[in-house]
Amino acid sequence: MHIKEAVAKRIVELCDERNMTINGLANISGIPPMTIYSMLDERSKNPGIVSIKKMCDGLDITIGKFFDTEYFDNLEQEIK
């Protein structure tokens, strides 16, 4: 799995845990819904760390907690 896919899975997981929609996450995070939808889109390659931090603030979790999941433990090499 690549970092982009791991970030997308983690966003969906956190929303599911809270019975929250992507639009709901955008509202509590103060970022446009399209920013989050872009992060979930397979064509997008660079999920912005500032946006991830804003989502974490909205969810009241640390950025460490965001990345503290098995999704990020065995990422594929990005440089080939």
- Please check whether residue 45 lies inside any domain of the structure: yes
Give pLDDT, residue 16.
97
CA–CA distance, 39 with 25 (Å, rounded to integer) = 13
Give pLDDT, residue 40.
93
- Please check whether residue 79 lies inside any domain of the structure: no
Q: 75, 3 in Cβ contact below 8 A? A: yes
Give pLDDT, residue 56.
97
CA–CA distance, 29 with 55 (Å, rounded to integer) = 5
- Please check whether residue 55 lies inside any domain of the structure: yes
- Please check whether residue 78 lies inside any domain of the structure: no
Domain count, the chain: 1
Q: What average pLDDT does this structure show over 3-7?
A: 92
CA–CA distance, 26 with 73 (Å, rounded to integer) = 26
CATH number for the domain spanning 39: value is: 1.10.260.40
- 12 backbone dihedrals φ, ψ, rounded to 5°: -60, -45
- Please check whether residue 25 lies inside any domain of the structure: yes
Whole domain around residue 7: which residue ranges? Answer: 3-72
Q: What is the DSSP letter of 61?
A: -
13-67 residue pLDDT tens: 999 999 999 999 999 999 999 999 999 988 777 889 999 999 999 999 999 999 9
- Please check whether residue 47 lies inside any domain of the structure: yes
Give pLDDT, residue 23.
96
